[in-house]
Amino acid sequence: MGNSCSNNLGIPPAKGPNAVGCSDFMMDHTVEGTFFRLYYPCVASDNAENPDWIPCKGYFYGLADFMKINRGLSEKIFNYLFGSFKIPAALNGSYKQNGKYPVVIFSHGLGAFRTLYSAICTELASQGFIVASVEHRDESASATYFYHQKPQEPEKDEASSPKPNPEPPENLVEEWMYYRSLKPGESEFPLRNKQVKQRADECIKALDTLIQINSGKKMENVLQTEFDWTTLENSMDLCRIAVMGHSFGGATVIEALCKDVNFKCGIALDAWMFPLDEEIYVRVKQPIFFINSEKFQWAGNISRMRKLDSSSTSMQRKMITIKGTVHQSFPDFTFLTGNWIGKILKLKGELDPQVGIDLCNRASLAFLQRHLGLDKDFNQWDHLIEGKDHNLIPGTNVTEIS
């Protein structure tokens, strides 16, 4: 584990009965391809290697750009603060065959990327889900990368052109895409609306890829990881698929539910509703669970969520607010700094981050059992869906400006 030995910081290990494996998948290599981190139940092993939380330094550059701080300085800060954190999962751990697992597609927030929600994704995997945390290429991620074909060079002899190490796959060249901030005078809605549609398509594309993997088809993973994807043949229950996301990823949940009825229900963590078209509110039919932090919501955002509530009394629409939490209580950063830095940077609220994420995970599991028809014991947490806990508020604490 990363820095946990020094100051008991680190992403908390998952609580469910399964050990968790984690592996990255990219297909095809272009910007239009699919890219996700897969979390899955794996065979427990004591010599498992844990994957890096921040996979490579391009992501630190991206975070610096997103936070509008100097790249050089921030690379050192981020490296020192977060560079050695590991994810509590076995990198490329052997998949544990045990019937078919339900599937969750996870969508990250503005300025985030696929690895930053591992406390949520590893918990779901430990409880018997296969989770694909997608990395969006809509320029809303702090950073992401893909490959393009190297232009055919005139034959050079080996000596004069030393190969980079590790060699990129085949003759592909890595290319990075960073966060695109609004240009001066640019109106935000058109950009965000276009992005949320692309994000929903990327969630659907990731699901389609999982369906192919589930069929046992030999997949060409551009990232040459030590994981045999054919072991996932017949591993997924394709009647039990949900979509989940944080903030911009919460809006992506609504858009994805609308576009693909294979998503049986959605969980939106502190959803940012701004990017969504007005007409979407009457079109989405599936159950939705809004889990909000105490500090992020405002009347306009809540009233948009309510439109989803009122327009469909029959579909199960639920909302809870976790007291003492902030917007960053959902991504992993909330576990990675001391209390006072965390509070200053608004990465922590008053509530212990572990208690907050446990409430979020347990309420989510209860909601998934109810709407995916699972035969587990997650219904023990049904009261959390109704906001019945001293750290929860049913609905919202935001007073409506009607």
Q: Which residues bind ligand 71H (CB under 6 A)?
A: 63, 66-68, 109-112, 116, 142, 247-248, 272, 327-328, 331, 333, 345-347
**Choice among 270, 332, 358, 389 that is catalytic:** 270
What the block records as the tokens of 23 is 């592996």
For ligand 71H, the closer CB: 2 or 109:
109
CB of 263 to ligand 71H, least distance (A): 19
What is the rounded distance in angstroms from the CA atom of residue 352 to the CA atom of residue 16? 20
CB of 78 to ligand 71H, least distance (A): 7
**Choice among 247, 293, 329, 364 that is catalytic:** 247
DSSP letter string, 334-368: GGSS-HHHHHHTTS--SS-HHHHHHHHHHHHHHHH
Q: Among this protein's residues, is 260 annotated catalytic?
A: no
- Quick one: which H or E segment has residue 132? strand 130-134
For ligand 71H, the closer CB: 214 or 297:
297
**Choice among 108, 136, 327, 371 that is catalytic:** 327
Phi, psi angles (nearest 5°) of residue 258: -65, -40
For ligand 71H, the closer CB: 194 or 217:
194
Beta bridge partners of 393: 321
- Are 128 and 104 in contact, with CB atoms under 8 Å apart? no
> If we measure between CA atoms, which residue out of 94, 89, 17, 14 comes closest to residue 51?
89
For ligand 71H, the closer CB: 115 or 127:
115
Residue 358 carries which side chain, given as an amino acid letter? D
Torsion of CA 330, 85, 92, 124, to 10 degrees: -20
CB of 321 to ligand 71H, least distance (A): 17
DSSP letter string, 22-47: EEEEEESSSTTSEEEEEEEEE---TT
For ligand 71H, the closer CB: 188 or 208:
188
Residue 354 CB neighbours (<10 A): 12
CB of 276 to ligand 71H, least distance (A): 12
Q: Among this protein's residues, is 94 annotated catalytic?
A: no
Q: Among this protein's residues, is 375 annotated catalytic?
A: no
Catalytic residues: 247, 270, 327
